[in-house]
Amino acid sequence: MSNVVHDGIIDGKALAAQVQQRVAAAVAELKQKHGFVPGLAVVLVGDDPASAVYVRNKGRRTTEAGMKSFEYRLPADTTEKKLLERIAALNASDEVHGILVQLPLPKQIDPAKVIDAIAPDKDVDGFHVINAGRLAVGRPALVPCTPLGCVLLAKQARADLTGLEAVIIGRSNIVGKPLAQLLLNENCTVTVAHSRTRDLPEVARRADVLVAAVGRPELVRGDWVKPGAIVIDVGINRVEGKDGKARLVGDVAFAEARGRAAAITPVPGGVGPMTIAMLLANTVRAACMQRGVDLPEALAGL
């Protein structure tokens, strides 16, 4: 992949475009050699505007990569039973290799039950306990997309992370915890910090690789960053700017941190675009697992 780090900024949009191209090449190869096209089904319950935008983007990128996209929009008052029936049908479909249920779900639906119902081999979000367990013990797994993107971004700044101190702020099941496993696999020494961590700035300053996945605008200040560190900012926070207009900021005070970091991801344009790119890669991986064929060379290392 060509260089995406310029002036210490890791360009997630450019990296995502490269991943998307590799996915498209892999899809073309599968079609030509094995005669099938990977398919991704996205289910949206309710009409949350942010979720609707995510779902639309996922569908668009899926078809751009040459895959089949199936979109299901269910009303906000859909029962849990109805949603579980939809998932059972998708589990049984030969055309659908990946299933993603957009979170959050309306109150009447238990997200754990929904995630449990997705066939683990079609669980392209990697949220099923089977996939979390496979990742934890080092077996082939479908791994959550955002942490996969974080590792790929960090490796653009430094190809080999072996021996580095990694500090992840945030211990969620969808970002912090799986990222800890992935960075262990990269031979980092991993610390997972969270809301109860004592002296967080001091812990953060130990990091050669600092990841913020908290959801607090600009929590991480410039002096929390060890000079020369790689900083990956997962946070997406909507704040009101001085002009009264809404804007997006990360969990890291970008301008301050940039002066100390060797490389840093911006918000927007860092981790965000990588999440969808890795979802596409996961869908191809899932399709290959289900069809019992090798992952195309184009996706090696993803």
Residues serving a catalytic function are 58, 102, 125
Taking CB under 6 A as the binding criterion, the range among 23-31, 93-101, 155-163, 167-175 that sits at the site for ligand NAD is 167-175
Using rule CB under 6 A, residue 147 touches ligand NAD: no
Using rule CB under 6 A, residue 151 touches ligand NAD: no
Q: Which of 168, 174, 183, 232 binds ligand NAD (CB under 6 A)?
A: 174
Distances (CA, A) of 172 to 45, 180, 212, 213, 236: 22, 11, 11, 8, 15
Over the window 178 to 197, marking each residue x when it contacts ligand NAD by CB under 6 A and - when it does not, the resulting string is: ----------------xx--
Taking CB under 6 A as the binding criterion, the range among 55-63, 73-81, 234-242, 277-285 that sits at the site for ligand NAD is 234-242
Taking CB under 6 A as the binding criterion, the range among 3-11, 99-107, 201-209, 233-241 that sits at the site for ligand NAD is 233-241
Using rule CB under 6 A, residue 175 touches ligand NAD: yes
Give which of 3, 5, 4, 10 is closest to 232, Cα–Cα. Answer: 10
Using rule CB under 6 A, residue 215 touches ligand NAD: yes
DSSP string, 170-230: ---TTTHHHHHHHHHHTT-EEEEE-TT-TTHHHHHTT-SEEEE-S--TT-B-GGGSPTT-E
Using rule CB under 6 A, residue 12 touches ligand NAD: no
Using rule CB under 6 A, residue 264 touches ligand NAD: no
Number of residues located near ligand NAD, criterion CB under 6 A: 23
Integer Cα distance of 222 and 204 in angstroms: 11
The set of residues, in sequence order, having a beta carbon less than 8 Å from that of 84 and lying 6+ positions away, is 113, 114, 117
Integer Cα distance of 230 and 10 in angstroms: 10
Using rule CB under 6 A, residue 78 touches ligand NAD: no
Integer Cα distance of 177 and 131 in angstroms: 13
Binding site for ligand NAD (CB under 6 A): 146, 169-172, 174-176, 194-195, 200, 213-216, 219, 234-237, 271-272, 275
